[in-house]
Chains A and B, each alone.
Chain A
């Protein structure tokens, strides 16, 4: 069975944390949850609670990432499970989305990208980010 936790961090990140196995049986739940979170400006998907993912799960993950990006958001995936990290590498998944080991690293990556985007788009260069 799959449970999906959703959190908001004080920094304004939406964290999606599925817990359980992700396959054809459970995937629709995951897909729906991601669709609901797709409008988040910064979405973190933490796969550390998922011991098994198959291509249905990967497909849902990609669909969710794509939708969030289409709506102008940025997405990162964190996962500390070697089996899943290896699958993400084998399938080339890690080349289309940032994959980090911890949520903290994922936040840092998204922060950095947001700063870079701001610098690139701002002629004044007046970033007000305190971090």
Chain B
């Protein structure tokens, strides 16, 4: 396992695109990573960075968000560390009911399930003053992807019928 990249960006939304571009162009050099997995990783990195930036904004800190990419033959790992005060990923609020005006903001609730669907392994570590998310993608062909997000969307949009 080698550290291939370390990056710090200001906690502002305009830097999210840069992070996903840098990480995905690094990952694109991996022979054994299918294009679809590369897309998955790129999206997961974007979601994770968005969460980190939002956490910093909520916490009122201008400290940088830290990104570290580690590589081994069979895997690529991306660590995103924020100092946004921390949260418990298992205790995320459920999406607001569809009758609630705030439901239009439910994209925030979609990010973490999406990350879990997109990467092979996602682990949230609670730090003293923030959260470290470690995401692992193994080389090899793309899987079918999970069904978790589908379930979530279905629940949120159940009143369409």
Contact = CB atoms under 8 A, between A and B. Distances in A.
B150 interface: yes
A92 interface: yes
Interface in A2-27: 21, 23-25, 27
A96 interface: yes
A87 B43 contact: yes
B7 interface: no
B114 A86 contact: no
B95 to A, nearest CB: 10
A33 interface: no
Contacts of B39: 83, 86
Given A62-B157, A92-B149, A55 B114 contact: yes
A56 B107 contact: yes
Interface stretch (B10-18, B121-129, B133-141): B10-18
A25 B46 CA distance: 11
- Name A's interface SS: helix
Q: How large is the interface on A (under 10, 10 to 19, 20 to 34, 35 or more residues)?
A: 20 to 34
B90 interface: no
A69 B160 CA distance: 9
Interface string A48-81: 0000101111111011001101000000000000
B154 A90 contact: no
Interface string A85-125: 01100111101100000000000000000000000000000
